[in-house]
Amino acid sequence: MKRTRIAEILSSENSGTHITVMGWVRTRRDSKGGFSFIEVNDGSCLSSLQVIAADKLPNYENEILKLQTGCSVKIAGALVASPGKGQKIELQADEIEVLGWADPDTYPLQKKRHSFEFLRTIAHLRPRTNTFGAVARIRNAMSQAIHAFFQGKGFIYLHTPIITGSDCEGAGEMFKVTAFNLDEIPKKDGLVDFGRDFFHGPANLTVSGQLEAEIYALAMGDVYTFGPTFRAENSNTSRHLAEFWMVEPEMAFCDLEGDRTLAVEFLKYIFGYVLENCEEDMVFFNRFIDSSVIDTLETLVAQDFEYLTYTEGVKILSEAKEKFEFPVSWGMDLQSEHERYLCEKVFNKPVVLTDYPKEIKAFYMKLNEDKKTVRAMDVLVPKIGEIIGGSQREDDHDILVERIKEAGLNPDDYWWYLELRKFGSVPHAGFGLGFERLIQFITGLANIRDVIPFPRTPGNVSF
């Protein structure tokens, strides 16, 4: 079935050409002059193509006058300059074949505004709406941009495992993977006998590809991963998913300053790429979702971010007049209200906070000389808070053993990670970007469930 995509038609506007278009009817309007206007969308771009169907078509009375929102059609005809307002080109149909009907009494996606909450219940149909089509195209373009950015810098794209035996973040928020019959789990001394499970030991879905990325960085220099990660944290917020995508570069011969420079350059590249390549969809988000998104991205491409330490940030927050739900003191983990206050009220731009207290950060981060803080960095943005978490890694074997123990973990479980510090250890650093949070920031969509095709959250695993 040869077809021309509507995106291609609208970008070249070649009137006179004969083409075949396939897609889904958005609306049909009948004119008294003996023809109908049909808006057809095929998902290749936001705009629909206007089709003119004359009453001389053999199936005009029987089929075309019965076309409704959601029907699928195959239309052959000639492109002509459009006399009407709103489009430069339209398709004069020679032949319209109805591929599939959609009963208007039962098709849930009628031509009107639906709430995002409702659309989440019909995730099999929501990509046919303007918003979710635009999100899917932006996700696609951003994925392309991520690879282009790192490939352009000579980074190696690394596939890290989805099933692992280690807990990267040491936070224990993991989904277990087992082949046991859950009704008859083998036990030994009252505990689960993982030795008899598929992997002969406990296994879980990865929370981060970082530890494996470090292995490859310490052989190949610069690597990055881009894949799904899983967290069994029971946080029902507009910024948390149980399954989300993370981009994780890891660089050998690199310290925290190098890491921070890369993170900022990376974000600016993605912003610039989206502005340049997703204009139609960005204009849509700017008009219907958040009227500041284009302006914000344009400003950020040109402007530097704000850099300060955790200690400086806490000082600003504790002197602020704002009443926070969680009072601020040195040593606490910052809440998103604090992160947003710094970005939105104090600096009015993204903020990179570094050097957090070691107690609130993962065991692998490099200890500073003060022995109290670690070489951590979080990139915080307005409206969302943290979108990137990264650090320089601890490259000293003995200090790392201590940090693992302090975190209540067993150094034996991290034997290979420790060996990397025994044999040819080098300073290295990296970060993790939450892909969905970046899409939220770029599109202005308030809920993370609306920037991933099939969100997984507590209580939700449908589709």
Question: Where along the sequence are the contacts to ligand 4AD (CB under 6 A)?
Answer: 168-169, 208, 210, 231, 233, 240-241, 244, 246, 248, 386-391, 430-432, 434, 436-437
**In the bound complex, what is the minimum distance in angstroms from residue 248's beta carbon to ligand 4AD?**
4
Residue 149: which of ligand 4AD, Mg ion, none does it interact with, CB under 5 to 8 A by kind?
A: none
**In the bound complex, what is the minimum distance in angstroms from residue 407's beta carbon to ligand 4AD?**
14
Whole-number Å distance between alpha carbons of 296 and 14: 35
**In the bound complex, what is the minimum distance in angstroms from residue 148's beta carbon to ligand 4AD?**
20
CB of 41 or CB of 210, closer to Mg ion: 210
Residues 373 to 412 in contact with Mg ion, rule: CB under 5 A: 389
Nearest C-alpha neighbor of 221 from the set 34, 462, 14, 424 = 424
DSSP class per residue in 29-91: EEETTTEEEEEEE-SSSSSPEEEEEETTSTTTTTTGGG--TT-EEEEEEEEEE--SSS-SEEE
CB of 133 or CB of 432, closer to ligand 4AD: 432
CB of 28 or CB of 231, closer to Mg ion: 231
Beta bridge partners of 37: 29, 52
CB of 12 or CB of 237, closer to ligand 4AD: 237
Say if residue 267 is exposed, middle or buried (CB neighbours under 10 Å; 0-12, 13-18, 19+): buried
Q: What CA–CA distances, in Å, run from 196 to 166, 185, 186, 191, 449?
A: 18, 10, 7, 12, 38
Residue 205, Cα to own-chain centre: how many angstroms? 19
Largest CA distance in the chain: 85
**In the bound complex, what is the minimum distance in angstroms from residue 166's beta carbon to ligand 4AD?**
12
Residue 350: which of ligand 4AD, Mg ion, none does it interact with, CB under 5 to 8 A by kind?
A: none
**In the bound complex, what is the minimum distance in angstroms from residue 201's beta carbon to ligand 4AD?**
22
Residue 431: which of ligand 4AD, Mg ion, none does it interact with, CB under 5 to 8 A by kind?
A: ligand 4AD
Whole-number Å distance between alpha carbons of 99 and 97: 6
**In the bound complex, what is the minimum distance in angstroms from residue 360's beta carbon to ligand 4AD?**
11
Say if residue 334 is exposed, middle or buried (CB neighbours under 10 Å; 0-12, 13-18, 19+): buried
**In the bound complex, what is the minimum distance in angstroms from residue 215's beta carbon to ligand 4AD?**
13
**In the bound complex, what is the minimum distance in angstroms from residue 314's beta carbon to ligand 4AD?**
19
Whole-number Å distance between alpha carbons of 47 and 7: 8
CB of 198 or CB of 253, closer to ligand 4AD: 253
CB-closest chain residue to Mg ion: 389
Whole-number Å distance between alpha carbons of 293 and 274: 11
CB within 8 Å of 212: residues ≥ 6 apart: 158, 160, 161, 164, 225
Whole-number Å distance between alpha carbons of 232 and 340: 25
CB of 313 or CB of 389, closer to Mg ion: 389
What the block records as the tokens of 154 is 């000579």
Residue 246: which of Mg ion, ligand 4AD, none does it interact with, CB under 5 to 8 A by kind?
A: ligand 4AD
CB of 38 or CB of 213, closer to ligand 4AD: 213
Q: Give the helix/strand (H/E) hosting 151.
A: helix 130-152
CB of 133 or CB of 390, closer to ligand 4AD: 390
CB of 64 or CB of 451, closer to ligand 4AD: 451
Nearest C-alpha neighbor of 365 from the set 149, 168, 147, 72 = 168
Residue 23: which of ligand 4AD, Mg ion, none does it interact with, CB under 5 to 8 A by kind?
A: none
**In the bound complex, what is the minimum distance in angstroms from residue 235's beta carbon to ligand 4AD?**
7
Our CA dihedral for 303, 305, 306, 310, rounded to 10 degrees, sits at 170
CB of 36 or CB of 354, closer to ligand 4AD: 354
**In the bound complex, what is the minimum distance in angstroms from residue 389's beta carbon to Mg ion?**
3
CB of 382 or CB of 389, closer to ligand 4AD: 389
Whole-number Å distance between alpha carbons of 359 and 403: 10
Whole-number Å distance between alpha carbons of 132 and 130: 6
DSSP class per residue in 371-437: SSEEEEEEEEETTTEEEEEEEEBP--HHHHHHHHHHTT--GGGGHHHHHTTTSS---EEEEEEEHHH
Q: How many residues touch Mg ion (CB under 5 A)?
A: 1
Angle between helices 293-302 and 256-277 (to 10 degrees): 130
**In the bound complex, what is the minimum distance in angstroms from residue 128's beta carbon to ligand 4AD?**
26
| Site for Mg ion, rule CB under 5 A | 389
